[in-house]
């Protein structure tokens, strides 16, 4: 390929930069090392404007008896999403940081809502918490992607990414 003139050089440099450092993507592309489950909204149960998705039940450490459970219900009339997150550490000798992320996407794959938590859980502990999120765009939801992983880098892992995702949703 022949490169002629400054505009061609600038174009090549820009392409190389984009390839080396991809822009923040919608969906789960930027969330590395998660065990993901995609749930299409059409597979969820709908009643009286509330869509309830199947339970997410996944290990955060494949070799241990340690579980993440997520329940999601979306009220499409009010644009609110209820998310319940539960970590169960049945290992009596292992404590971990656990990252849990849920992304609600429209049919084009664009983020409508995002949830991210990084919790420390001690051996034998169970932690549960419920969250409420709102979006006027929630009725456009086509899928929910839920992922979890052991956050080996500790507290705060993926928090900066979450902040960037939230900023992208606001714009």
Residue 74 lies in a domain: yes
Residue 10 lies in a domain: no
pTM equals 0.84
Per-residue pLDDT tens over the stretch 129-143: 999 999 999 999 999
DSSP code at position 99: E
The DSSP bridge partners found for residue 99 are 118, 149
Domain count, the chain: 1
| pLDDT score at 27 | 87
Residue 71 lies in a domain: yes
DSSP string, 126-147: EEEEEEEEE-TTGGGEEEEEEE
Residue 13 lies in a domain: no
- Region 93-108: mean pLDDT is 96
Residue 6 lies in a domain: no
Residue of higher predicted confidence among 9 and 104: 104
Closest CA to 98 of 84, 113, 86, 114: 86
Per-residue pLDDT tens over the stretch 51-74: 999 999 999 998 999 999 999 999
Give the residue numbers spanning the domain of 157: 25-170
Give the domain CATH number at 151: 2.60.40.10
Residue 20 lies in a domain: no
pLDDT exceeds cutoff 80 at 1: no
Residue 14 lies in a domain: no
């Amino acid at each position: 390929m022949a490169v002629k003139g400054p505009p061609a050089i600038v174009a090549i440099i820009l392409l190389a930069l984009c390839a080396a450092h991809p822009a923040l993507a919608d969906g789960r592309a930027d969330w590395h090392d998660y065990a993901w489950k995609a749930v299409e909204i059409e597979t969820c149960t709908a009643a009286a404007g509330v869509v309830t998705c199947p339970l997410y039940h996944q290990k955060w450490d494949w070799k241990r008896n340690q579980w993440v459970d997520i329940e999601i219900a979306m009220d499409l009339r009010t644009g609110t999403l209820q998310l319940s997150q539960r970590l169960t550490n049945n290992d009596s000798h292992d404590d971990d940081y656990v990252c849990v992320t849920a992304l609600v996407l429209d049919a084009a794959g664009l983020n409508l809502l995002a949830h991210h938590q990084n919790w420390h859980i001690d051996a034998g502990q169970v932690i549960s918490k419920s969250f409420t999120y709102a979006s006027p765009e929630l009725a456009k939801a086509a899928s929910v992607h839920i992922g979890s992983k052991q956050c080996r880098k500790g507290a705060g892992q993926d928090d900066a990414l979450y902040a960037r995702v939230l900023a992208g949703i606001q714009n």
